[in-house]
Amino acid sequence: MRKKIVAANWKMNLNLSEGAELINDLYNGMPELSEHRLVVVAPPFVHIGQAATQLATMDHVYLGAQNCHQEASGAYTGEVSASMLSSAEVQYVIIGHSERRQYFGEDNEMLAKKVNQVLANGMKVIFCCGESLEVRDAGTENAWVETQLREGLFHLGEEHFKNVVIAYEPIWAIGTGRTASAQQAQDMHAHIRSVLTSQFGAEVADGISILYGGSCKPSNAAELFACADVDGGLIGGASLKAEEFIGIVSAMLETEVA
Residue of 172, 169, 215 lying closest to 188 (CA atoms): 169
Catalytic residue chosen out of the listed positions 97, 131, 141, 244: 97
CA nearest 143: which of 191, 209, 202, 206? 191
Quote the CA–CA distance of 14 and 26 in Å, as a whole number: 15
Q: For this structure, is 191 an active site residue? A: no
Round to the nearest angstrom and report the end-to-end CA distance of the chain.
6
Active site residue 97: yes
Catalytic residue of the set 106, 141, 169, 244: 169
Chain centre distance of CA 19: 19
DSSP string of 184-242, one letter each residue: HHHHHHHHHHHHHHHHH-HHHHHTS-EEE-S---HHHHHHHHTSTT--EEEESGGGGSH
DSSP class of 96: S
Distance CA 24, CA 35 (A): 22
Point out the residues that are catalytic. Answer: 97, 169
